[in-house]
Amino acid sequence: MATVTTKDGVEIFYKDWGPRDAKVIHFHHGWPLSSDDWDAQMMFFVNKGFRVVAHDRRGHGRSSQVWDGHDMDHYADDVAAVVEKLGTQGAMHVGHSTGGGQVVRYIARHGEGKVSKAVLISAVPPLMVKTASNPGGTPKEVFDNFQAQVAANRAQFYYDVPAGPFYGYNRPGAKASEGVIWNWWRQGMMGSAKAHYDGIVAFSQTDFTEDLKGITIPVLVIHGDDDQVVPYEDSGVLSAKLVKNGKLLTYKGAPHGIPTTHADQVNADLLAFLQQG
Which residue, 101, 62, 47, is CA-closest to 79? 101
Residues 97, 204, 235, 239: which is the catalytic one? 97
Distance of alpha carbon 248 from alpha carbon 235, whole angstroms: 11
The beta strand positions in the chain, using DSSP E, are 3-5, 11-17, 24-28, 51-55, 91-96, 115-121, 219-224, 246-251
* φ and ψ of 251, to 5 deg: -95, 110
Residues 26, 28, 223, 256: which is the catalytic one? 256
Phi-psi region of 157 (alpha: psi -120 to 50; beta: other; left: phi over 0): alpha
CA distances from 78 to 7, 8, 70, 89, 142 (A): 9, 10, 11, 14, 28
Residues 60, 227, 234, 235: which is the catalytic one? 227
Partners of residue 222 on adjacent β-strands: 121, 249
Is residue 39 a contact partner of residue 54, using CB atoms and an 8 Å limit? no
Angle between helices 193-205 and 140-163 in degrees, nearest 10: 120
* φ and ψ of 19, to 5 deg: -60, 140
227 an active-site residue?
yes
Is residue 107 a contact partner of residue 97, using CB atoms and an 8 Å limit? no
Catalytic residues: 97, 227, 256
